[in-house]
A = this chain, B = another copy of it.
């Protein structure tokens, strides 16, 4: 999270509720998105101010920063946060600072590609590089991290192919050269990204921690046509990865496909973060659709929030509402009784994550 105190502009708040990178969206269009309108309404109701962006910003910028942040976070009823540390910048809290500032236990998720880029310079060939990455993953988990996240979707297709060793060698050399020249060795392309993902998958399996895979929509650096979770099939059917827990993040508009994967592969899980709260009422629809094939023991809550308490708050509120709506529909139709629905809600909001991430109470 961004280190408080800070003031928030309209452009910043809008940018926090869109995956767009082009500032024209925040300038001209985000205020016409149902997800943002919903966010403003939820914040205003919590802050007892007018349901306008201006009123919300005035209120938050006039409030005591720490008190304000903790108030919104308290409303999310979060006992532990699993944090992708790959977003860290000089302006954000370290995990230790964040734990102290929020009073909420923080657990690290290691971002695979960031870690791997930092290790390219020391390696002479892909084998050495992968070995270093796996050592670093092991060390990270040993230090308390609870999972690994891949953003392969932003760097390559998610239609995974077996590694092409020749292409891997060539791509590695090119990347290594960049690193030697002190240029940023940005990982991209199928050869490097898929080989890395496969190595990480094996290591996660051995370490008994889940691998999170960004799939479905995100910012326009990714090609949405290439990021269906169905492309990950190799991870699910190759005995090499047997027992690996995979958490599919976001998924929309491939959430029906993700739910199918959850229904037939024992160690596949999914969440609907980003869809909720960015996509307005589609969040609730995606939840209902996912609960067609996805067992409630396989759906995870996630906020995908990173910088602002506002997003944590809105994501948590919208997610609970979407979940209540989807489970309520099952109760109304006589498929679940109320006790089962309450229990299913607990699975999604806490129990499943505790089990998948081996979290101790």
- A interface residues, Cβ below 8 angstroms from B: 18-22, 24-25, 28-35, 37-38, 41, 51, 159, 217, 219-220, 223-225, 228, 230-231, 233, 236-237, 252-253, 256-257, 260-261, 263-266, 278-283, 285, 288-289, 291-298, 329-330, 333-337, 340, 344, 347
A19–chain B nearest beta-carbon distance, Å: 6
Residues of B near A294 (CB, < 8 A) are 33
Given contacts A32-B297, A253-B257, A281-B330, contact A19 B225 (CB under 8 A): no
Which of the residues B22, B34, B252, B335 comes within 8 Å of A335, measured between beta carbons?
B34
Given contacts A223-B233, A266-B22, A335-B41, contact A288 B281 (CB under 8 A): yes
The 3 closest A-B pairs by CB, nearest first: A282-B292, A24-B266, A32-B295
A230 and B224 CA atoms in complex are apart in Å by 7
Given contacts A22-B265, A29-B297, A41-B334, contact A260 B292 (CB under 8 A): no
A340 and B291 CA atoms in complex are apart in Å by 32
**Contact across chains for B293 and A33 when beta carbons are under 8 A apart:** yes
**Contact across chains for A264 and B20 when beta carbons are under 8 A apart:** yes
A340 and B33 CA atoms in complex are apart in Å by 11
17 additional contacts, CB 8 Å, given A217-B293, A280-B292?
A: A20-B266, A22-B265, A22-B266, A25-B263, A32-B297, A32-B344, A32-B347, A33-B295, A34-B336, A51-B337, A220-B264, A220-B265, A225-B230, A280-B335, A281-B291, A282-B293, A285-B288
A344–chain B nearest beta-carbon distance, Å: 7
Q: From A266, which residue of chain B is reached at the shortest CB distance?
A: B24
Given contacts A41-B335, A237-B220, contact A278 B293 (CB under 8 A): yes
Residues of B near A236 (CB, < 8 A) are 220
Residues of B near A225 (CB, < 8 A) are 159, 228, 230-231, 233
Residues of B near A233 (CB, < 8 A) are 223, 225
Scoring A18, A260, A265 by chain B CB atoms within 10 A of each residue's CB, the highest score goes to A260
Residues of B near A292 (CB, < 8 A) are 34-35, 279-283, 285
**Contact across chains for A263 and B19 when beta carbons are under 8 A apart:** yes
Q: From A19, which residue of chain B is reached at the shortest CB distance?
A: B264
**Contact across chains for A297 and B224 when beta carbons are under 8 A apart:** no
**Contact across chains for A295 and B253 when beta carbons are under 8 A apart:** no
A10–chain B nearest beta-carbon distance, Å: 16
A236 and B278 CA atoms in complex are apart in Å by 21
**Contact across chains for A224 and B260 when beta carbons are under 8 A apart:** yes
A274–chain B nearest beta-carbon distance, Å: 10
A16–chain B nearest beta-carbon distance, Å: 14
